[in-house]
Amino acid sequence: MSNVTASEGIVVLPNDPDYLGLCAIIIVAIQTICFIIAATLKFDKLNDLVGGSNFVILAWLTFALAQTYHARQILVSICVTVWGLRLSLFLFYRILKTGEDWRFNDLRVNPAKLSVFWILQAIWVFGTGLPVYIVNSPRTNQGSQDLQPLDYVGLAVFVVGFLSEVIADQQKNSFRNNTANKGKPCTAGLWSWSRHPNYFGEITLWWGIFMMCASAFEGWHWASVESPVVISILLLFVSGIPMLEQNAAKRYAEDPSFWEYRRSTSPVIPMPASVYALLPKPMQFLCCCECPCYRAPPDVEKEPITP
Once rounded to an integer, what is the mean pLDDT over residues 60-78? 93
CA dihedral 80, 84, 86, 87 (to 10 degrees): 130
Spatial neighbors of 270 by CB under 8 A, at least 6 apart, are 164, 190, 193, 194, 197, 200
* Coil, strand or helix at 1: coil
Q: Burial letters for 108-123: b for 16+ Cβ neighbours within 10 Å, e otherwise?
A: beeeeebbebbeebbe
State the average pLDDT for the chain: 87
What are 102-116's pLDDT values in tens digits? Answer: 666 666 667 788 888
Share of the chain above pLDDT 70, in %: 89
| Residue 57 amino acid letter | I
7-47 pLDDT, tens digit per residue, is 567 878 888 888 999 999 999 999 999 999 888 887 777 77
0.75 cut: is pTM over it? Answer: yes
Where in the chain are the domains?
1-141
Instruction: Determine the Cα angle at 232 with ends 176 and 175, to 5°.
Output: 10
For residues 235, 124, 131 and 90, what is the CA-based torsion angle, rounded to 10 degrees?
70
Highest mean pLDDT range out of 61-65, 181-185, 274-278, 287-291?
A: 61-65
In the three-class reduction of DSSP (H, G, I as helix; E, B as strand; rest coil), residue 11 is classed as: strand
- Degrees (nearest 5) of the Cα angle 40, 27, 33? 20
pLDDT for the residue 283: 87
